[in-house]
Amino acid sequence: MKQVYAVIMAGGAGTRFWPASRELLPKQLLALGPTANSLLRETSARIEAMVPSSRQTVVTAARLAEKTMAELPHAAVLSEPAPRNTAPCVGWATWTIAARDSEAVIMVLPSDHVVSDVPEFQKTLAVALASAAEGHIVTIGIKPTRAETGYGYIELESEVAAGVYRAARFVEKPNRARAEEYVASKRFLWNAGMFFFRAQDMERALRTHLPELAQGLDALRAAPEKLADLFPSLPSVSIDTGVMEKLSELRVVPGDFGWSDVGSWESAWDLGQKDENKNVLPEDAITVEASGNLVRQLGRMNGKLVALVGVQDLVVVDTEDALLIMPKSRAQDVRAVVEALKTRKNSKHL
Amino acid sequence: MKQVYAVIMAGGAGTRFWPASRELLPKQLLALGPTANSLLRETSARIEAMVPSSRQTVVTAARLAEKTMAELPHAAVLSEPAPRNTAPCVGWATWTIAARDSEAVIMVLPSDHVVSDVPEFQKTLAVALASAAEGHIVTIGIKPTRAETGYGYIELESEVAAGVYRAARFVEKPNRARAEEYVASKRFLWNAGMFFFRAQDMERALRTHLPELAQGLDALRAAPEKLADLFPSLPSVSIDTGVMEKLSELRVVPGDFGWSDVGSWESAWDLGQKDENKNVLPEDAITVEASGNLVRQLGRMNGKLVALVGVQDLVVVDTEDALLIMPKSRAQDVRAVVEALKTRKNSKHL
């Protein structure tokens, strides 16, 4: 089989994990999964057996380049001078890898997800890579476990090879009723933003569907020293809407490997190790009739004694310079706090 | 009028303000009132105009002597080698002041209460002191503002002088129904542990009602260098049950000056300055649909940004080494946390 390369997309900002996440410490650099490692490092480690880090490329934002390199010292880092959404990210990485290996088979993975069943994940990747190596553009669709309205869905058509389906269409985030239909039908999968292709196939797809982007990438490949000028002028468009939804043929490999996009503090609780009262707590915490709570300590707050008395289903995040307390059910509203900080021009805490 | 002396009882331990209060930092050394000063310092300042600090004596525990002296550098400090309840405390201070001024009129005050109407408080003290100077043992009874079951009550008999009553009896903490009767009757006042007497009258009362204690105090006065031996052998009894309840005649001055014994974090919230949603918060805190909460920061946690989203009526206490979260209504249950720490032999956090 041709050499496989990985592109890990790690440019995300993310405000949903404030006060743990900050502009200079976004979600993928936090240990939000079950281990003490950052989501980014876990993403890299999860594929290391299939794609050694010497063939891993991380695409990130310039302001995060240093921390990203510290996390993954053996990976190549592409540092975007400006955020241009995922199509330029995937395109730039593809152009770069193709220059090194024109036969490359590439997997694109988000950097900030969690997988609990790694062997199953790797099996699914292998199926997707095999299909990509044959010249298909492939995505993994996650078997839904609930009527989630926060994700896009992919509708399956027919099975075209063992475990590989033709995609009927992409569907934007549905409403509740529609999401319930999707889950019941068993023909809809979650779009998890993982893509597999030969470099040449993505190049062709971009030339067809986003010719302006492809020309920009050609210019960049010809004059890499002009990155700071050229990159910000690339069209800002997602790989989903710019390419995937327009392909006449897209393959989907259904996956079921304990996937989570760790979308909020509530899902961090969901993934955490729970005590007998469903609390996710630091060691030595004292609880008196407290249940369903998540307490996270960061930096020097690590190891501080936490005592919860008679509280239920709270999220408590204690960092060196900020303390957040809210019900788990309000986890999305942490954005309101970030907005308030912006209004106050409080850059220290952003 | 004879010289007035003040005895401030500051030996209390108190676990109800954990994690702010510790064995080495009890309630009276905390700024639990509306100002940034400790309750002890406020107690001293509140009477300074009537009794300069050179005539104030603070009785405290040996382990707290250093911090107490730092708080009140101009007061005399009596340092108890062992806790023996309030009768030996009042007795020792009385014997000590009497040796300096046999005509002394003494007021005894707890160190850990709050008074919001200081002029009215001082007026009440003046009435009590005048009665004490005439040879009566006097207490102040607080006009009840609710059917509190956590305090002892004093029943009034007849008014014997302007604003001065004869006490009918002391009553231990009543049940709810009884407390409601007491408040309705207007003849019952809260016992706030404030006492006024001439040194000679207290000396006589102790010789009559606690002769063993009086003899011990005589021995101590004769050989002050034997404090560590003598003090711990004094009978451990409260001034209320050992003396006040046994007096054939006790005077009571009703007081109504915004008194609080700051009995729990809930009362700290009660006393705090509230925002428009009844939150008592550090400066710059961010709230999103949060109301009725108390957040206290101590030490290096001072100034940390606090964000509350969608939480109601919580107590949050953030110190350098501990974080407590509980509903205000559970404020008494902080004792359970302290018990858990004792069980774990966690002396660091006690």
> For chains A and B, what is the number of CB pairs under 8 angstroms?
113
In terms of Cα–Cα distance, which of B349, B295, B285 is closest to B325?
Answer: B295
Neighbouring CB atoms inside 10 A of A213's CB total 23
Give CA–CA dist B325/A266, Å, rounded.
Answer: 19
Å between B291 CA and nearest CA of chain A: 12
Which residues fall within 8 angstroms of residue B88, CB to CB, at 6 or more apart?
B80, B213, B216, B217, B231, B234, B235, B236, B237
Yes or no: say if A310 and A288 are a contact pair by the CB < 8 Å rule.
yes
CA-to-CA distance for A90 and A235, rounded, in angstroms?
13
Assigned token pair, B204 = 């006589």
Collect all residues of chain A within an 8 Å Cβ-Cβ radius of residue B283. none
Check A337 against B286: CB less than 8 A apart. yes
pLDDT (tens digit, 0 to 9) for every residue of chain B, 350 residues total? 589 999 999 988 778 999 999 989 999 999 998 888 999 999 999 999 999 999 999 999 999 999 999 999 999 999 999 999 999 999 999 999 999 999 999 999 999 999 999 999 999 999 999 999 999 999 999 999 999 998 999 999 999 999 999 999 999 899 999 999 999 999 999 999 999 999 999 999 999 999 999 999 999 999 999 999 999 999 999 999 999 999 999 999 999 999 999 999 999 999 999 999 999 999 899 999 999 999 999 988 988 999 999 999 999 999 999 999 999 999 999 999 999 999 999 989 99
Tell the residue number behind the tokens 């069980």, with chain if given.
B343
pLDDT at residue A101 above 70? yes
What is the rounded average pLDDT of the residues A155-183? Answer: 95
Would you say residue A155 has pLDDT above 70?
A: yes
What are φ and ψ of residue A160, in 5° steps?
Answer: -110, -15
pLDDT digits 0-9 by tens, A302-342: 889 999 999 999 999 999 999 999 999 999 999 999 999 99
Q: Do A337 and B309 touch (CB under 8 A)?
A: yes
Q: What is the b/e burial string over B242-253, where b = at least 16 CB atoms within 10 angstroms of the residue's CB?
A: bbbbebeebbbb
* Residue A238 CB contacts under 8 Å (≥ 6 apart), including other chains: A85, A86, A87
**B307–A324 C-beta distance less than 8 A:** yes
The region, left, alpha or beta by phi > 0 then psi within -120 to 50, assigned to residue B141 is beta
Residue B21 Cα distances to A293, B112, B264, B339, angstroms: 25, 12, 11, 14
- Mean pLDDT of all residues in chain A? 95
* A-chain residue closest to B318, CA distance: A323
pLDDT (0 to 100) of residue B294: 97
In this predicted structure, what is the pLDDT of residue A1? 56
User: What letter does residue B210 receive in the DSSP assignment?
Assistant: -
Indicate the helix (H) or strand (E) that contains A77: strand A76-80
The residue of B294, B321, B325 whose CB has the most chain A CBs within 10 angstroms, and thus the best one to mutate to test that interface, is B325
Question: Can you give the pLDDT at residue A99?
Answer: 95
pLDDT band at A12 (very low <50, low <70, confident <90, very high): confident
Ranking A85-89, A235-239, A299-303 by mean pLDDT, the lowest is A299-303
Distance CA B19, CA B25 (A): 10
> Stretch A23-31: mean pLDDT, rounded?
92
B246, B209 Cβ separation under 8 angstroms: yes
State the pairing for strand pair A138-142/A114-115: unpaired
The answer on pLDDT for A14 being more than 80 is no
What integer pLDDT is reported at residue B52 of this predicted model? 97
- Return the amino acid letter for B309: V
Give the chain A residue nearest B309 (alpha carbons).
Answer: A326
| Cβ contact B81:B92 at 8 Å | no
Residue B333 burial class via C-beta count within 10 angstroms: exposed 0-12, middle 13-18, buried 19 and up: middle
| Chain B residues near residue A20 by CB distance under 8 angstroms | none
Instruction: For A257-286, write each residue's pLDDT tens digit.
Output: 999 999 999 999 998 999 999 999 998 999
Share of chain A above pLDDT 70, in %: 100
Inter-chain residue contact B309 with A326, CB threshold 8 Å: yes
Q: Which residues of A touch B336 (CB under 8 A)?
A: 288, 309
pLDDT-derived band of residue A178, with 50, 70 and 90 as boundaries? very high
Task: Give the one of A18, A288, A311 whose C-beta lies nearest to B336's C-beta.
Answer: A288
Q: Write the pLDDT tens digit of every residue in A242-260.
A: 999 999 999 999 999 999 9
Cis peptide before A19 (omega within 30 of 0): yes
What pLDDT does A35 receive? 84
Q: Which residue numbers of A have CB closer than 8 Å to B's CBs?
A: 18-19, 286, 288, 304-311, 314, 316, 318, 320-327, 329-330, 333-334, 336-337, 340-341, 346, 349
Is the CB of B311 less than 8 angstroms away from the CB of A327?
Answer: yes
Distance of alpha carbon B28 from alpha carbon B96, whole angstroms: 23
- ∠ Cα B277 A317 A263 (to 5°): 105
Neighbouring CB atoms inside 10 A of B158's CB total: 7
- C-alpha span between A297 and B37 (Å, rounded): 30
Give the closest of B320, B325, B333 to A316, CB-based: B325
* pLDDT of A33 over the 90 cut: no
Residue type, B26: P
Nearest to A281 by CA among A294, A269, A268: A294
Decide if B316 and A334 are in contact by the 8 Å CB cutoff: no
User: With an 8 Å Cβ cutoff, are B337 and A288 in contact?
Assistant: yes
Picking from B296, B298, B302, B309 by the largest number of A CB atoms within 10 A of its own CB, the best residue to mutate is B309
Using CA atoms, how far apart are residues B291 and B287, in angstroms rounded to an integer? 8
